[in-house]
Amino acid sequence: MEILTALLLLWPYIVALTAVYFGTLIFYRLFLHPLAKFPGPKLAAITRYYEAYYDIVQNGQYIFKIEELHKKYGPIIRISPYELHIMDSAYYEKLYRQEGRWEKYSWAYDAFGVKDSIISTGNHELHKARRQPLNAFFSKAKVANQQDLIRRNLRKLCDRLSKVSGSKRPINLGAALSAFTRDVSTEFIIGKSYNDLDHEDFNIALTNMTTTGFGHIWRMTKHITWFGPAMKAIPIDWAMKMANDDTKAFLSMLKASHHTKELMAAATSPNPDEKTQRTIVHEIMDSGLPPSDKSFERVSGDLATVTSAGFETTSSALRLIFYHVFSKPEILQRLRAELATVRSSDGFEWRTLEQLPYLTSILMEGLRMSPGVVSRLARIAPDRDIIYKEGSIPAGTPVGMSILTLHMDETLYPDPRCFDPDRWMDLEVRKKADKVFAPFSKGTRMCIGMYLAWAEMYLVLATLVQQFNFEFDGASAKNFICSSDDFSPGTKGASLGGEILAHVMHLGLLPSNLVPEIYLFVLTLLFWVFFFPLFEMEAIFSQIKQIASTAGNPAKKSLIFQLHALAYSLEEVDDTVKRLSHLNLEAAVIRIGVDLKLFDLLSTSQIPLSVNKVVKSTGGDAQLIGRLMRFLASISVIEETGKDTFTSTNVSRNLTVPGSQAGFCHGFETSGPLYQELPSFLKRTRYQTPTNPTPTVLQSAYNFPGTAFEWFGTQPENLKYYQEYMAGRRQLTQEMWFSVYPVSAETEGLTDPENPLLVNIGGNIGHSCTFFKENFPDIPGRIILQDLAENIAVALKTKGVENMVYNFFEPQPIRGAKYYYIAHVLHDWPTSKCLEILQNIKAAMNESSVILIDEMVLPDTGVPSSVTTIDLEMMCAHASQERTQSQWDELLGMVGLKCLGTWEYNSVVCESVMKVVLV
């Protein structure tokens, strides 16, 4: 009674103190807070419940409300008492970048309920340490090596679709795609598939839970922090009794957490099973992380977030893409025609598909409209103010941008809600948009599973487009537009229903509405050749050329290969013998044409030239020159337009590009004699692989006792051809290793300008050092070019690059460099010499040093002829070779080194950069 009396007496003071507290807090946030100077709604500046209204009551609409607020208040606004938001496409690459310390806003990520997982780690240094062991696991090379895993699940998907092909019973394609991405993701990451593709309904309950339930729980827990933990605290068995089917499916998956313990036990076993697939658990447990980061709670948190991140994000984009591709015949037709240029009997290769411009444009357009994450991903600069235009943002302030808003910006993407792959077909437009095209985010927190998602999307779209037709029942484009912020896109149609009206399309059956265009062209061509030889065929050739004009380089090469194979398949015996036996004659006459400057003459003339006009410039006997030109026209090097009258062709024009004639002369004068000698040499050595540079084919061909490098020193003309050819290649080739390798991320903590940053071993005259310095001018540290004296004497004088005379068969004088970069050197030497070179580098390394080996990394199958040619040329001249990844790994293991990852930057010739460290 006394207590109640006291409370009655005190309540006016309690109310008054509460009013003073909140009044003071409101006044502070509106007028004294460091963010008070930024515009925005007053209510948002006072309380987070402003955002909670749109998140909870309005079901994830705050992302769209923020867009409205920008139209009223400008490009930078205050959206909560603590947070700013920017809508300015030019600023995106400055906020989401590799350089500097950038932390996450923990308030948004703690709601996931796994605070110590990589995705939820706010601290910059801690996140970097936790992510580092997984970088190589999710590298592009690792994913490429696991394509069989993706194809295996893809075959299961195709089998399921085939079973209902042609029937009236519709199948839920959205659920099927989700099941495919789940099975691939779990098998790739933890070595275990939950076989959702085998479920009769593709485990649609789990799809429904991930597309509708996660977002609601995440938004609720952001504002009611006990909600998520309370849900998590309920015993799973209890929850299963009360849950609906969708929740039960999710809880069943959670019950499999004991699998994490099994994986941890396998990863730490003193007697590991060599047949067991490595998982991310192995990478974490084998890393240098402290024991606290290897606990069950943290490892299971990483497993849950990393695997689930690859589920709905990828399948959501695929649903949108499949709807638009199969709803628009013109897109479907163009895509099938492009895919027909690269199809092989073994299925598609990811590295080939990603070179197809129209397929890539379709995927980019899909990811533009359905990026992996739509929520604002606030970043915090903990140690510095952020400059925006003329003002500054205080250190420690969460600042975010919404990628979906940028992807729907009409100034960047006209008619942004229209699915238009052609907007990406212009490479200049694509390059310009790349700064704000970020479906996997950018900077230090870029999606770690990006390459797995790309591989899945390329392979599943290409395969299903070539095998099936889909007609959708009741779906519309609105079903796939983001309508709520569920962290990932929340759409009106969470799952897609699709009725498959067409049977599996076997090309041999030739249903006319589905035959890929190139295949149809070839068959029509054969039909006309055999039955209607008098018909005009120019139309069909022009159609093939039209398709080729939109194809990327690998696709063109594949088309050339297929057309050559078609021509060869039509040959009689005598045709084959004459073609192959006269290859040397073709090369010899082209060599004469180069000497006469014939190709330059024809290519610069605006009109066809007669033999007599050619002779006035070249000299020589008119009859002889006419016979030579007639031969060149017969093999399509030049074109005969009339009697004794000729003009240039694509072949002859190619031979006028800088460096091309030198390259041909190098092949004819230097390599040609080696190829002539090769059969005799191998016969004498009983067909054993050459392992010593002296003697090899070169010594036999030229009767020279020294190495190929020593021979070049005695042949200035041959050396000149080679140097001019390589200079021409550098002008034509724009790809560089650092365009794909994470240099900025790995050098982020470097501060000492006196420490060696990059040592370019055998770097010739320094082009690579110059390009590196131009692209990374602000990374502190010394850049050093090393080569023999004769090359250093004529090396480029690049500011910030030191030129040093060095022989890589001697001890490396620069110790403890961050990077030892060695490009196209090891393929010039046999294994024994490669080991010497690597041993010298290894002796100079410290624990943080990395060897960057820039070489060809051959695929296990389907190596292009341009690469196999170089491989055999290396054998003839140097007793060396080009290597596959496994062969590189074997070589590195011999000297106590290991490859942590491989990044391919030029798929046409398999050029890649490998990250190599001490074992």
Higher pLDDT: 555 or 156? It is 156
- Give the pLDDT confidence score for residue 729 in this predicted structure: 66
pLDDT band at 75 (very low <50, low <70, confident <90, very high): very high
| Mean pLDDT across 198-202 | 84
Higher pLDDT: 560 or 832? It is 832
- Give the pLDDT confidence score for residue 633 in this predicted structure: 95
| Of 201-205, 264-268, 315-319, 503-507, minimum mean pLDDT range | 503-507
| Mean pLDDT across 518-539 | 48
pLDDT band at 514 (very low <50, low <70, confident <90, very high): very low
- Give the pLDDT confidence score for residue 912 in this predicted structure: 93
Task: Give residue-wise pLDDT tens across range 578-597.
Answer: 889 999 999 999 999 999 99
718 CB-near residues (< 8 Å, 6+ apart) = 666, 669, 670, 712
Backbone angles phi, psi at 257, to 5 degrees: -65, -20
Higher pLDDT: 557 or 490? It is 490
Contact yes or no for 849/817 (Cβ under 8 A): yes
> Given a cut of 80, is residue 650 above it in pLDDT?
yes
Task: Give residue-wise pLDDT tens across range 728-740.
Answer: 665 555 578 888 8
Contact yes or no for 787/816 (Cβ under 8 A): no
CA distance 148 to 766: 40
Residue with tokens 């590298």: 139
- Give residue 901's identity as a one-letter amino acid code: G
> Given a cut of 70, is residue 343 above it in pLDDT?
no
Strand 638-642 to 645-648 pairing: antiparallel
- Give the pLDDT confidence score for residue 555 in this predicted structure: 67
| Of 43-52, 202-211, 250-259, 874-883, minimum mean pLDDT range | 250-259
Higher pLDDT: 812 or 58? It is 812
| Mean pLDDT across 532-547 | 58
Neighbouring-strand partners of residue 822: 761, 853
Higher pLDDT: 734 or 890? It is 890
Contact yes or no for 318/174 (Cβ under 8 A): no
- Give the pLDDT confidence score for residue 749 in this predicted structure: 82
> Given a cut of 90, is residue 394 above it in pLDDT?
yes
Task: Give residue-wise pLDDT tens across range 226-270.
Answer: 766 666 666 656 555 554 554 555 545 555 444 777 788 887 887
- Give the pLDDT confidence score for residue 252 in this predicted structure: 54
State how far the alpha carbon of 378 is from the alpha carbons of 35, 79, 370, 396, in Å: 15, 12, 19, 11
Task: Give residue-wise pLDDT tens across range 790-823.
Answer: 889 988 899 999 999 999 999 999 999 999 999 9
- Give the pLDDT confidence score for residue 73 in this predicted structure: 95
> Given a cut of 80, is residue 753 above it in pLDDT?
yes
- Give the pLDDT confidence score for residue 231 in this predicted structure: 64
CA 314 to chain centre: 15
Instruction: Concatenate the DSSP letters of all residues of 634-655 into one string.
Output: HTTSEEEEETTEEEE-HHHHHT
Neighbouring-strand partners of residue 858: 884
From the CB of residue 554, how many other CB atoms can be counted at a distance below 10 Å? 20
Contact yes or no for 457/364 (Cβ under 8 A): no
- Give the pLDDT confidence score for residue 237 in this predicted structure: 60
- Give the pLDDT confidence score for residue 64 in this predicted structure: 92
H or E element, residue 753 = none
Instruction: Concatenate the DSSP letters of all residues of 125-155 into one string.
Output: HHHHHHHHHHHTTTSHHHHHHTHHHHHHHHH
* Tokens linked to 578: 């004459």
| Mean pLDDT across 570-576 | 89
- Give the pLDDT confidence score for residue 209 in this predicted structure: 66
CA distance 59 to 729: 56
Identify the DSSP state of 689.
P
Task: Give residue-wise pLDDT tens across range 467-499.
Answer: 888 887 777 778 788 888 888 888 865 544 333
> Given a cut of 60, is residue 521 above it in pLDDT?
no
CA distance 521 to 542: 10
Residue with tokens 């004639």: 661
pLDDT band at 533 (very low <50, low <70, confident <90, very high): very low
795 CB-near residues (< 8 Å, 6+ apart) = 764, 765, 766, 785, 787, 803
pLDDT band at 115 (very low <50, low <70, confident <90, very high): confident
| Mean pLDDT across 676-703 | 91
Cβ-based burial of 136 (10 A; exposed 0-12, middle 13-18, buried ≥19) = middle
pLDDT band at 507 (very low <50, low <70, confident <90, very high): very low
| Mean pLDDT across 655-670 | 90
- Give the pLDDT confidence score for residue 500 in this predicted structure: 35
Higher pLDDT: 9 or 660? It is 660
**SS3 of residue 444 by DSSP:** helix
The pTM of this model reads: 0.65
Identify the DSSP state of 277.
P
Q: Is the dihedral of CA 97, 748, 824, 868 positive or negative?
A: negative
CA distance 295 to 307: 18
- Give residue 894's identity as a one-letter amino acid code: M
Residue with tokens 């290597």: 883
> Given a cut of 80, is residue 544 above it in pLDDT?
no
Contact yes or no for 848/883 (Cβ under 8 A): no
| Mean pLDDT across 883-892 | 94
- Give the pLDDT confidence score for residue 512 in this predicted structure: 35
Among the listed residues 44, 62, 109, 51, the one whose alpha carbon sits nearest the alpha carbon of residue 483: 62
Average of per-residue pLDDT values in the chain = 84
Among the listed residues 698, 695, 722, the one whose alpha carbon sits nearest the alpha carbon of residue 708: 698
- Give the pLDDT confidence score for residue 256 in this predicted structure: 47
CA distance 283 to 188: 13
State how far the alpha carbon of 42 is from the alpha carbons of 48, 107, 810, in Å: 11, 21, 70
Q: What percent of the chain has pLDDT over 90?
A: 44
Is 447 annotated among the ligand-binding residues? yes
Radius of gyration of the chain (CA): 32
Task: Give residue-wise pLDDT tens across range 86-101.
Answer: 999 989 988 998 788 8
| Of 450-464, 554-568, 851-865, minimum mean pLDDT range | 554-568
- Give residue 157's identity as a one-letter amino acid code: L
Active site residues: 827
- Give the pLDDT confidence score for residue 444 in this predicted structure: 84
- Give the pLDDT confidence score for residue 345 in this predicted structure: 57
| Of 65-79, 258-272, 612-626, 860-874, minimum mean pLDDT range | 258-272
| Of 158-172, 527-541, 645-659, minimum mean pLDDT range | 527-541
- Give the pLDDT confidence score for residue 725 in this predicted structure: 82
- Give the pLDDT confidence score for residue 307 in this predicted structure: 80
CA distance 628 to 651: 16
Higher pLDDT: 239 or 202? It is 202
Among left, alpha and beta (phi > 0; psi -120 to 50; other), residue 476 is beta
242 CB-near residues (< 8 Å, 6+ apart) = none
Q: What percent of the chain has pLDDT over 70?
A: 86
Task: Give residue-wise pLDDT tens across range 18-48.
Answer: 888 888 999 999 999 999 999 999 999 999 9
Cβ-based burial of 55 (10 A; exposed 0-12, middle 13-18, buried ≥19) = buried
